[in-house]
């Protein structure tokens, strides 16, 4: 299943499922893994406690979908409520299967953690090699791909190669950035930071994960803008952690060396020193960000629009025109539409998969001048979607479902925090990987809105399994750090 993760729209599977775009090849081995999971549950084996709020979210999503039948609901072209709900609930079931199977499999076989991470590295190496070859053609051959590359891509994806943008084996560049940011990059970044490797191979002081980390960062910069934002958020998180550690050491040394007699002078000296230090770091971050944006203008014309200050100044107080100038208006329009749906159905939403039926009623007036919207309304047959996971959950499950999902995210953050306190370097690494994946999801949640992409569910399933294993071996004095303080034997789900 892990080896097939880079393939998001496998043509054979997409054809069998009616020509849909989201058809990850990892669904193929997931089928028999679900059979294994059914036997696992029937034998009353324990699931990680982190699965409880997730199952609550799934239950509430079914409830909101059931309530939708008791309202007057619109239709979109030939699509109707029963069809869209069935499709939406199937994708939610796929997400649940990826999460629960990975959590159950690894919690039942803890010795397979390192083996799984090695397979992740092999998969990532293949992905980065193919993406790197695309980057070479883009930079040095002006995106003139040889026929053999086009044929290979057509075997693995229903969509062809992109000019000037790297796609890997994915349907589009943003999906490539999504899979790297939510699955591969958190693992490699955490392994590099913690100096843990699933391999014995070393190149001087470099480990395999260090090399994969550099390749993945370069790939994201050539693929997606929101993917780059997610990457920068993870880097900023690590940088802040490092600098906070430095500040603590500097404060200790400063306190020892400053021999000022008056407490007020000591306080003023520390404030002045840290103000200057923080100002320097903020300036350094801004300079690095500016340099990155200037570099990206050579590869992505959309980034170059950020430097068209005259147009930005004219449109600054008109968000629709401003986002149109930045080639982002379509996504903003979809988000606004989803927010309007949520405003009218705030408690339970309109049901999983049903937001597209309400689009024609809630589209803002500016949407009708956008070519992409016109294509979707008058030419394409597919149901329109919100293009944001966060807004979609609000629109389709309301505050009740959103609260359950957010509580699951908080629990997993606490689990990741707990894992980082473990002495075992593997668990420590998985804890940091969980934090990084959740941070990346904050940004990536504004790029994709489908439940069927497996990357978030898999990484959080791995973290959940690691949390359960760590709790079994955790001393009682650590209960203040546990997301669930009870012993795992205290419930069927594992405490």
Q: What is the largest CA-CA distance in the chain?
A: 81
- CB-based contact 489:495 (threshold 8 Å): yes
Name residue, tokens 């409520």.
Answer: 81
Q: What is the mean pLDDT of the chain?
A: 87
Give the bridge partners for 206, in sequence order.
203
Confidence of residue 490 (pLDDT cuts 50, 70, 90): very low
DSSP 310-340: HHHHHHTT-HHHHHHHTT-HHHHHHHHHHHH
Q: Closest Cα to residue 409, out of 452, 444, 442?
A: 442
d(CA 481, CA 298): 47
- pTM comes to 0.88
Give residue limits of the domains in the chain.
1-495
Q: Could you read off the pLDDT of 49-64 as tens digits, one per residue?
A: 999 999 999 999 999 9
Query: What pLDDT does 63 receive?
Result: 96
Query: What pLDDT does 91 receive?
Result: 93
C-alpha 321: how far from chain center:
28
Mean pLDDT, residues 90-107 taken together: 94
Q: Could you read off the pLDDT of 282-341 as tens digits, one per residue?
A: 888 888 888 877 777 776 677 777 777 776 777 777 777 877 777 788 889 999 999 999
Query: Which whole-number Å values give the CA distances from 189 to 184, 253, 490, in the listed order?
Result: 9, 30, 35
Q: Could you read off the pLDDT of 125-154 as tens digits, one per residue?
A: 999 999 999 999 988 888 899 999 999 999
Answer whether residue 429 shows pLDDT above 90. yes
Confidence of residue 269 (pLDDT cuts 50, 70, 90): confident
Q: Closest Cα to residue 182, out of 243, 252, 95, 100?
A: 95
Answer whether residue 366 shows pLDDT above 70. yes
Of 9-18, 223-232, 400-409, the range with the highest mean pLDDT is 400-409
d(CA 495, CA 490): 6
């Amino acid at each position: 299943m892990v080896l097939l993760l880079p393939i998001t729209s496998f043509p054979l599977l997409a054809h069998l499922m009616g020509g849909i775009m989201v058809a990850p090849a990892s669904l193929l081995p997931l089928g028999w893994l679900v059979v294994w999971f059914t036997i696992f549950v029937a034998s009353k084996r324990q699931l990680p406690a982190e699965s409880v709020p997730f199952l609550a979210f799934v239950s509430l999503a079914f409830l909101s979908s059931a309530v939708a039948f008791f309202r007057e609901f619109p239709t979109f072209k030939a699509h109707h409520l029963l069809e869209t709900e069935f499709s939406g609930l199937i994708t939610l079931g796929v997400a649940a299967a990826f999460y629960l199977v990975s959590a159950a499999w690894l919690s039942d076989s803890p010795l397979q953690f390192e083996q799984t991470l090695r397979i992740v590295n092999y998969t990532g190496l293949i992905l980065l090699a193919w993406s790197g070859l695309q980057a070479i053609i883009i930079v040095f051959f002006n995106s003139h791909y040889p026929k053999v590359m086009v044929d290979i891509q057509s075997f693995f994806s229903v969509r062809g190669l992109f000019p000037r943008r790297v796609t890997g084996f994915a349907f589009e560049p943003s999906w490539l950035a999504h899979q790297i940011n939510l699955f591969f990059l958190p693992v490699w970044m955490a392994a590099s930071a913690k100096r843990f490797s699933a391999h014995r191979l070393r190149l001087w002081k470099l480990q395999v994960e260090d090399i994969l980390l550099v390749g993945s960062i370069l790939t994201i910069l050539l693929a997606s803008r929101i993917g780059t934002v997610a990457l920068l958020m993870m880097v900023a998180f690590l940088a802040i952690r490092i600098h906070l550690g430095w500040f603590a050491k500097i404060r200790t040394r400063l306190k020892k060396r400053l021999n000022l007699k008056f407490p007020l002078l000591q306080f003023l000296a520390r404030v002045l020193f840290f103000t200057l230090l923080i100002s320097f770091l903020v300036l350094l971050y801004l300079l690095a960000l500016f340099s990155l944006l200037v570099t990206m203008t050579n590869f992505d014309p959309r980034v170059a629009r950020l430097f068209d200050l005259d147009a930005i100044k004219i449109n600054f107080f008109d968000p629709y025109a401003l986002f149109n100038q930045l080639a982002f208006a379509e996504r903003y329009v979809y988000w606004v539409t989803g927010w309007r749906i949520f405003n009218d159905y705030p408690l339970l939403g309109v049901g999983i998969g049903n937001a597209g039926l309400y689009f024609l009623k809630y589209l803002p007036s500016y949407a009708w001048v956008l070519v992409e919207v016109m294509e979707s309304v008058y030419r394409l047959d597919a149901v329109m979607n919100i293009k944001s996971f966060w807004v979609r959950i609000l629109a389709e499950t309301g505050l009740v479902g959103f609260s359950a999902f957010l509580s699951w995210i908080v629990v997993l953050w606490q689990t990741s925090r707990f894992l980082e306190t473990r002495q075992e370097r593997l668990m420590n690494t998985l804890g940091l990987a969980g934090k990084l994946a959740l941070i990346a999801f904050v940004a990536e949640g504004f790029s994709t809105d489908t439940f069927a992409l497996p990357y978030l569910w898999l990484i959080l399933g791995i973290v959940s399994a690691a949390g359960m294993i760590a709790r079994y071996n955790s001393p009682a004095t650590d209960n203040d750090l546990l997301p669930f303080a009870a012993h795992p034997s205290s419930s069927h789900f594992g405490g």
